[in-house]
Amino acid sequence: MAKREASGTPEDPVLAAGIVVWRKNDYGVIEFLLLQNALHHTWSYAKGHADSDDSDLIQTALRELAEETGVLMTPNQLVNDFADVSTYRVKDSYWKQVVYFLSSKPCTAAITCSPEHEAHQWLPEKEALALLPHQDLKRTLIRAAMHLTHAHAT
């Protein structure tokens, strides 16, 4: 993916990508990984801006996950039929578009927060929704949970 300077307008937003990571706890309950930002203390998913070295937004999401949590994944570990897109304005400044992918945590992977984050938590949907500060993040979580519920019901 060639680096292109985005104007940050609604028609040409800054591109970013992330991964909603999930696991089943010892009781079979689906939990989601949330990271707490060290600067503004809000909770979100591993995500970040596309870099010129990223071949596509999947590569951006995988790179950001590795940088922010220490978890290494490959594209084939992402859920094939899930992506959620959020476009929003950052603090009355520029427009940003984030594509979120979905993946379960590899069994042996430990979470190691980068200096960008001060904490992480694994939470069921209801508790995670209570911590997420923005409607777009909540919508992504609800869609991910619905997708997983449907996928595990079949």
Residue-level pLDDT at 90 = 87
Residues of the chain with pLDDT under 70: 1-5, 152-154
Residue-level pLDDT at 153 = 55
Whether the predicted model's global pTM rises above the 0.75 cut:
yes
Residue-level pLDDT at 52 = 84
Separation between Cα atoms, residue 152 and residue 150, nearest integer Å? 6
Residue-level pLDDT at 2 = 45
Quote the distance between the C-alpha of residue 92 and its chain's center.
22
**Domain at 14-153: CATH code:** 3.90.79.10
DSSP 41: -
- Structural domain boundaries of the chain? 14-153
